[in-house]
Amino acid sequence: MDYPILNSQTITYEQLAKTIDHSLLRPELTRAEVIQGCELAARYHVASVCVKPCHVRLAWEVLKGSDVAVGTVVGFPHGSSTTAIKVAEALQALEDGATELDMVINIGELRSGNDDFVRQDIQAVVTAAKGHIVKVILENAYLSKEQIVRGCQLAEQAGAHFVKTSTGFAPSGATVEDVRLMRASVGPRVQVKAAGGIRTLEAILEIIDAGATRVGATATAAILDAFRARQNSVQ
């Protein structure tokens, strides 16, 4: 296992901050708002920002020299791009400065039982990423439990580093039940990222206890400020 096991009782502020991918994916965000979001991420020393592909270079410029990685999305939000387009998106993102890629699985092909296609689609992006982190978004809102398990297994077979619950743009986001199922469906080298609707300290700690080691969040400041306040109250 290449990552620490975290739990709500022993997690430190620094560890909690490094579970967060600060999400800057809303379609209406301006360049100024992206810059502000990146600056917030740097102040709170989170794991990464996750920006739209058009903002990768901007985020890289703001965050260079910081301890915050630049991530972006591939095939977002529906996963329906052809494999060639997903690969092109991945290559462009890396050229622009991204080091983490959150790609959306082809949801319809997974639901159709076309496992070879799904595995090869993921593998093509993993290969293009050349060792950089690839997180595979399943979009659990549209999947049965069996399909979630199968999607996790295909992502692992394809060499992905993470399986992820949601884009944040489907009818529902991360649930504790789904995170536990995903954690149980992959081996120890694959991590679980939860995203969608995680807006409070209590919610993120519950998700971490379920097995997530990364969390996509927009309420980053509120979550980490609440943790700091709780720490201060017991000292």
Residue 105 is given by DSSP the state P
Phi, psi of 102 (to 5 degrees): -105, 105
Q: Is 193 a residue of the active site?
A: yes
Check: CB of residue 192 under 8 Å from CB of residue 163. yes
Tokens of 114: 């076309």
Burial class (CB in 10 A: 0-12, 13-18, 19+), 30: exposed
Q: Catalytic one among 18, 86, 135, 193? A: 193
Phi, psi of 190 (to 5 degrees): -105, 130
Q: Catalytic one among 18, 86, 135, 164? A: 164
CA distance 143 to 141: 6
Q: Is 67 a residue of the active site?
A: no
CA distance 54 to 216: 19
Residue 220 region, left (φ>0) first, then alpha (ψ -120 to 50), else beta? alpha
Q: Catalytic one among 18, 21, 96, 102? A: 102
Q: Is 18 a residue of the active site?
A: no
Question: Hey, which residues are catalytic here?
Answer: 102, 164, 193
